């Protein structure tokens, strides 16, 4: 169980509504490299991790990714606050308005709904941790693209915070990958399809 603190992990503010930019930010809500994908990936993969330390890391980061999804939701909502159907249409996001009004929905920038195909769990801790590292790098790159796409300094502050967390998560996963590889070697577990036999 988790204790939920009823505040955002980092303040989310915008200088002004901007539906066109909101359409871009939605990528991190329901896109393939977004926060929903990350949270579900890690909270699912934790069950097949071989050590309690690895399980704990995936639980911690997976839970934090839920907080990041909450931040992205707040950002998109503020960027569309009070927007008219005409503004959604001008932004090329009329499909959002027709199907959801101002409600959020997990899609990418093209309106494609989120799918479980975006995530994987292979049961091999090395494979899964390497995928997690790649996922963090893809999210980092997406945040860099979003930061470059707006002149809203308040929105950039939120995006920079999320960018920093992707960097930290990548580092933590890399450290855990080393730890798990060492554990598998010392414990003579199957590693890369072969039984690893420690030298006497």
Name the binding residues for Ca(2+): 60
Nearest to 48 by CA among 59, 39, 61: 59
Q: Quick check: 15 and 153 in contact, CB under 8 A?
A: yes
Distance CA 51, CA 172 (A): 15
> What are the phi and psi torsion angles at 164 (to 5°)?
-60, -40
Determine contact, residues 42/135, Cβ cutoff 8 Å.
Answer: no
- The residue count for the chain: 200
CA distance 40 to 135: 12
Q: Compute the half-sphere exposure of residue 45: CA atoms within 13 Å on the CB side of its CA.
A: 28
The annotated binding site is made up of 35, 60, 65, 68, 136, 169
Give 5's DSSP letter. Answer: P
Could you list the residues known to form a binding site for Mn(2+), using ranges. 35, 65, 68, 136, 169
């Amino acid at each position: 169980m988790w204790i939920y603190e009823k505040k955002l992990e980092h303040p989310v503010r915008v200088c002004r509504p901007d539906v066109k930019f909101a359409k871009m930010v939605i990528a991190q809500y329901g896109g393939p490299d977004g926060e929903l994908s990350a949270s579900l990936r890690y909270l699912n993969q934790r069950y097949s991790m071989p050590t309690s330390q690895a399980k704990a890391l995936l639980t911690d980061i997976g839970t934090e990714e839920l907080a990041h999804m909450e931040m992205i939701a707040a950002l998109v909502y503020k960027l569309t606050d009070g927007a008219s159907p005409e503004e959604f249409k001008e932004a090329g996001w009329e499909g959002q308005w027709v199907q959801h009004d101002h409600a959020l929905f997990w899609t990418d920038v093209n309106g494609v709904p989120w799918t479980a195909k975006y995530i994987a769990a292979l049961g091999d801790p090395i494979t899964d941790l390497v995928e997690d590292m790649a996922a963090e790098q893809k999210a980092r790159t997406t945040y860099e693209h979003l930061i470059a796409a707006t002149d809203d300094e308040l929105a950039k502050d939120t995006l920079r915070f999320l960018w920093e967390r992707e960097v930290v998560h990548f580092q933590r996963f890399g450290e855990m990958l080393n730890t798990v590889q060492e554990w598998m070697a010392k414990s003579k577990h199957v590693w890369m399809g072969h039984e690893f036999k420690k030298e006497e």
